[in-house]
Amino acid sequence: MDSATRVIKAGRASGAVVRCGLIDSMTIDMAVVATFFYDRTLDVDRLADGLSRALDLVPVFGGRIRGDTASAEIVCSDSGVPMTVTEVDRTLADTITLAGAFGYPSEPTGAGELPLLAIRVSRLADGGTVVGCSWNHTVGDTHSFMLLMRAWSACVDGGEIPAVDIVDDRDAFLDRVLPPQGDVAADYTEIGPGDAEGIMRRLSSSAAQPTETVQLAFTEAEVARLRDALRVKAGRWLSASDAVSAHVLTSLAGLEDPPKARDLTVPVNIRRPLGLSASVIGNLLGKIELPYAPDISPERLAASLRGAIEGYPVSHLNLRANLEFLAKPDRRFLQTFVPTAVLSERPSTVLTNWAGFGAYDITFDGNRPRFFSPRGDMAFPWMGLLSEGPDRAGLICTIGVPEYLAARLRTPGAGAAMHRYRADHDAVSPLVPHAL
């Protein structure tokens, strides 16, 4: 596989310095991956030129992090973004099937001299192109990344440039826009000097559990039938994501041995519920937590999820409490404090919804992606992602589960139950990855 790397720069440093927030600093070693699959050959020079102009519009992605976790800043230094171009002897369908192990950059991102964004462009044997992206979570959330991608697409194709707002002090910004703290407690709790070792053993034991990533693909018609059925049973409006999430999680709960009550954690983009501008770059994320019993019905879980999303600002918003907790002196993660979820008797299921961010609107040379995928391999069990299927049709749930549960999912009975809303005549895209 031939490859060459160039560093893409805007050509000028904006000079802006962004003071990272307390929550940003906890993601300083975390990379996020997204991959776009096109069935046409993209002009690499046009991609590079467009990225250069996009970095001028969204300069945080071309900067570097300085300082430690307690005083981290993003310096918009125009240090650049490595873009590696490779020639790959595989077809588009091959690479989609291998999405968990193919397509995204291998370059590390992080603090110091490491880049905050890396790009890998793979030119395929059948004329397709894969654009893999890896960015450091400290720079921003998925919404922020998609602002960069929209700017990149617009700079290549001449579309509308999105508005971008880079705040210079993220905690000060949150302090201005967050409502007064209500009764919702912080997500963290203090621990004693002797507690850390036991907690680390518990976390290590969970991480060491043999995990297999499964992808559950639901067709557009299948999703519609599932959503409509759960709406009738729940007696209320539900989104497609509500319905599929609840259906998958309750189906998995029925296969778990022994059955376990769990906490469902769902990250929330706070821009819309708080009426904030969609142009703001940063980690504007909250979360909702819902306990659910192993025998809960899918319609009840879906209704609880929808109610929590709609009631988020009142019932779940606790970012101000988190900031006040983290701002206290001598806060050392896993030494003086931990997330409260770590101490819960109920294990957590984390499900992040990537659908609806506009990934299929990221055109280059007039071509829309045929498929989009977050990173396809889950490092830990019970962590999952929901994303749109090929050509924005249907939904795919990618989730890590214990190996024994993945084996159970492959049995005919479990497969039929998972897809009981699919009809024989439903069109399944040939680009759907090998999924259960």
55 with 99: CB under 8 angstroms?
no
- How far, in Å, are 66, 139, 149, 197, 330 from residue 80 at the CA level? 15, 14, 16, 40, 34
Range of the domain at 161: 3-176
Claim to verify: residue 107 and residue 194 sit in the same structural domain: no
Q: Are residues 227 and 327 in the same domain?
A: yes
Residue 327 CA neighbour count, 13 Å, CB half: 11
Which residues are CB-neighbours of 170 under 8 A, at least 6 positions away?
A: 18, 19, 20, 21, 24, 282, 283
| Ranges of the chain whose pLDDT falls below 70 | 1, 98-111, 202-208, 330-335, 376, 434-436
Q: Report pLDDT for 101.
A: 53
Residue 332: what are its φ and ψ, rounded to 5°? -125, 115
Rounded alpha-carbon distances, angstroms, from residue 176 to 138, 171, 172, 258: 20, 9, 6, 47
Tally of domains in the chain: 2
Are 74 and 223 in the same domain? Answer: no
Instruction: Give 362: exposed, middle or buried? Use CB within 10 Å, 0-12, 13-18, 19+.
Output: buried
Examine the domain organization and report whether 56 and 168 are in the same domain: yes
Residue 306 lies in a domain: yes
Element (H, E) at 33: strand 31-38
Same domain, yes or no: 223 and 282: yes
In this predicted structure, what is the pLDDT of residue 105? 66
Domain final position from 130, 145, 176: 176
pLDDT, position 380: 79
One domain for residues 169 and 194: no
Whole-angstrom distance, CA of residue 429 vs CA of residue 96: 12
- We report the CATH number of the domain holding residue 376 as 3.30.559.10
Whole-prediction pTM value? 0.93
Asked whether residue 298 falls in the same domain as residue 168, the answer is: no
pLDDT one-digit tens code per residue, 231-244: 999 999 999 999 99
How far apart are the C-alpha atoms of 327 and 186, rounded to whole Å?
A: 12
Q: Are residues 280 and 329 in the same domain?
A: yes
Give the CB-side neighbour count of residue 67, counting CA atoms within 13 A.
15
Three-state SS at 143:
helix
- Clarify whether residues 262 and 316 are in a common domain: yes
- pLDDT computed for residue 338 by the predictor: 77
- Asked if residue 435 is part of any domain, the answer here is no
Pairing state of beta strands 285-292 and 348-353? unpaired
Nearby residues of 81 by Cβ (< 8 Å), 6 or more positions away: 7, 8, 9, 51, 55, 61, 62, 115, 116, 117, 118, 119
Residue 203: per-residue pLDDT: 66
| The pLDDT of residue 314 | 86
Residues 208 and 116 in one domain: no
Closest CA to 265 of 178, 323, 344, 208: 344
Q: What are phi and psi of 157, to 5 degrees?
A: -100, -5
pLDDT confidence of residue 341: 78
Place of tokens 């409490």: 321
